[in-house]
Structure 1
Amino acid sequence: MTIFPLPDVDFDLSQHRILVTNDDGYSADGIEILERIARRLSDDVWVVAPEYEQSGTGHSLTLTQPLRFRQIDERRFAVRGTPTDSVLLGVNRIIPDKRPTLVLSGVNRGANMGEDVTYSGTVAAAMEGTLLGIPSIALSQSVYPGATEMDWQGTEDAMERVIRWLASVGWAPEILMNVNFPDARRGAVTEMEITVQGQRDPADIQFDERVDTRGETYYWIGYRRSREHLIDGTDIKAVRSGRVAVTPLHLDLTHEAARQRLTRAAEEAAGGV
């Protein structure tokens, strides 16, 4: 585990066309902050995001009903669909003349770490940008347990520096960057860690059982926040320790060691062919 000071690189992104999206909806506080940061990086910024909150939709597409969008202003659009729909429409239909050269997704209200990345619409939007051949970054901020309001100051201070640094380094076409910020006040976010995807305790998942006015049972699914089993080097440990976690995620989900083991087993079953 190596901890780094927050990078401060004056990398020029002024020639980039930036697509800003999220899964919390086009009017969420987090996307307003991300749009503000994006406009410091470039004058060519477009916002294409879901009309309504789409948290937990993962990498889903709308296939059984038509997709519609409405224009909020010159370069801001609300899509009646998922984050993936928003990126697809933004790149292929809404934004004219040329494709975006950078996709920024977030800032999500709540961290997207560990197995969260498989559920997250924020990560899915960046994944879709990556599939379309566009460098993409998912950005999320942890929520302090029991907090009723988000304090975005620490994240807003650190975010531009992290985005500029990542852009200056670059990454392979099949990679997306998943960045998680701690819940910290202005000036408190000073360190960064390059992490692996952590793993939550299954006991963190909870079902809140309730009964509606007709006597029917229904459930809310959520997380019980646990601070146990924090492993060095993971995104979860870094953020819980007050550091920015930068995790490169790969589109290829193949587990190579398991593939090789299965190949050897199949060869043995076939008589050593």
Structure 2
Amino acid sequence: MKILISNDDGHFAPGIQTLLQSLQGHPTIQSLTLIAPDRNRSAASNSLTLVNPLRLHLVKQDDEKNTTQYSVNGTPTDCVHLGVNGALGFQPDMVISGINAGANMGDDVLYSGTVAAATEGRFLGKPSIAISLCGETNFDSAAHYFLRIFNDLADIELASDTILNINIPDLPLEQIKGFKVTRLGRRHASEPVVSQLDPRGLPIHWIGPAGSAADSAEDTDFYAVEHGYVSITPLKIDLTHYQALQNLKAWADRISD
């Protein structure tokens, strides 16, 4: 199996490097290719770079471990698009995005570059997983629990429009209680914009912090992580609201007359 790894924190981030090291030497993996942004591109979502050329820069190659690392002057989606759609000269079998430093739960998935990298892999026909640590400390715990999922993937069947979004509590290994399959929760609106003046006296604005959990019911990702469980949420890429189709068709017919 040939694995493509990406993220939105940058190729140098401790999470992606921990993931890479944890997969090296795995008996089912033929090669590991890391393609990630050359800087932090958190919250880049599914953006593609279309007006500037992308440069694939070789950072490190380890032939003994069948591992190659690249950086790209673009977004997480750019990285996976390049890796799957021709820049490598071969096709990876699977895309893994992470380990992200920080949660990607609830509304976060709309903005997340981590989830977007996995989404791009799925768009391009590859089984894809996004993995996030809900903090910035226990990356080894995240890698351990991801490997437990990875080693058992053959026993589950995912639809071709589905990715797995995994969030792991930022706890020592022995404090994590296990797995829960969850739905997305929902956050309150984000905190207000922070407005300041730059050194020249001109106004600048910072996006405020994410809101707290508004829907953290027992079946949500928020609840699972808060109570010490790894959250596994299947995300469907097809955004069509099928239940609304019939009403909208009737409405469109009416206004067309």
TM-score (norm 1): 0.85
Corresponding residue for residue 198 of structure 2: 212
- Pick closer, same or farther for the CA change 1:256–1:36 going to 2, 3 Å: same
Whether the 8 Å contact between 2:186 and 2:213 is mirrored in structure 1 is no
SS in structure 2 at match of 1:103 = strand
**2:251 aligned with 1:265:** yes
Q: CA deviation at 1:167?
A: 4.1
2:101 matched residue in structure 1: 109
Supply the distance in 2 between the matched residues of 1:117 and 1:224 (Cα, whole angstroms).
Answer: 12
Higher relative contact order, structure no. (Cα contacts within 8 Å, ≥ 6 residues apart): 1
How far has the Cα of 1:29 moved from its partner? Answer: 0.3
Q: Does 1:184 align with 2:179?
A: no
Choose which of 99, 106, 127 in structure 2 pairs with 1:135: 127
Matched residue, 1:33: 18
Residue 173 in structure 1 maps to residue 160 in structure 2: yes
Q: CA, structure 1 residues 72+66, in 2 after alignment: closer, same or farther (shift >3 Å)?
A: same
Aligned-partner Cα distance in 1 for 2:92–2:129: 13
- Candidates 208, 221, 227, aligned match of 1:222: 208
Q: For 1:165-197, what per-residue CA distance to the aligned partner results, in whole angstroms no more than 9, with x for missing partners?
A: 234313111111111111111222231111111
Q: Is the 8 A contact 2:187 2:211 kept in 1?
A: no
In 1, the alpha carbon distance for the partners of 2:210 and 2:253 equals 46
Give the conservation status (yes or no) of the 8 Å contact 1:175–1:249.
yes
Distance in 1 separating the partners of 2:245 and 2:23: 41
1:60-79 alignment, distance < 5 Å: 60-74=47-61, 75-79=68-72
Please say if residues 187 and 214 of structure 2, whose CA atoms lie closer than 8 Å, have aligned partners that are also in contact.
no
Contact 2:195 2:203 in 1 (8 A): yes
CA offset digits 1:90-115 (Å, max 9, x no partner): 1233323x311110000111011111
Matched residue type, 2:6: T
Q: CA deviation at 1:43?
A: 3.9
Q: Deviations over 1:49-98 (max 9, x none)?
A: 111111011000001111112101221110010011101111233323x3
Partner of 1:83: 76
Give the letter aligned to residue 243 of structure 1. Answer: Y
Match of 1:242 in 2: 228
TM score, norm. by length of structure 2: 0.90
Cα deviation code 1:205-225 (max 9, x no counterpart)? 332222211111212213256
Corresponding residue to 1:46 among 20, 30, 33: 33
Greater mean deviation of Cα atoms: 222-231 or 117-126: 222-231
Tell me how far 1:122 sits from its aligned partner: 0.5
1:33 aligned counterpart, secondary structure: helix
Query: Which consecutive unaligned segments of at least 5 residues does structure 1 have?
Result: 1-15, 144-148
3-state DSSP of counterpart to 1:187: helix
Return the alpha-carbon distance in structure 1 between the equivalents of residues 77 and 156 of structure 2.
Answer: 26
CA separation of 1:125/1:167 partners in 2, compared to 1, >3 Å: closer, same or farther?
farther
Residue 115 of structure 1 aligns to a residue whose secondary structure is helix
Does 2:141 correspond to 1:120? no
Query: In the aligned structure 2, how far is the partner of 1:18 from the partner of 1:82?
Result: 19
Q: 1:46 touches 1:95 (CA, 8 Å); kept in 2?
A: no
User: How far off its partner does 1:254 sit?
Assistant: 0.7
Look up the SS of the partner of 1:93 in the other structure: coil
Q: 1:167 to 1:267 in 2, by over 3 A?
A: same
Q: After superposition, what is the alpha-carbon deviation per residue over 1:94-139, rounded to whole angstroms, capped at 9, x for unaligned?
A: 323x311110000111011111111111011000100110000000
Aligned length: 249
**Is residue 2:10 matched to residue 1:19?**
no
More displaced stretch, 153-162 vs 171-180: 153-162
* Long gaps (5+) in structure 2: 62-67
User: RMSD in angstroms over aligned alpha carbons?
Assistant: 1.9
Residue identity matched to 1:174: D
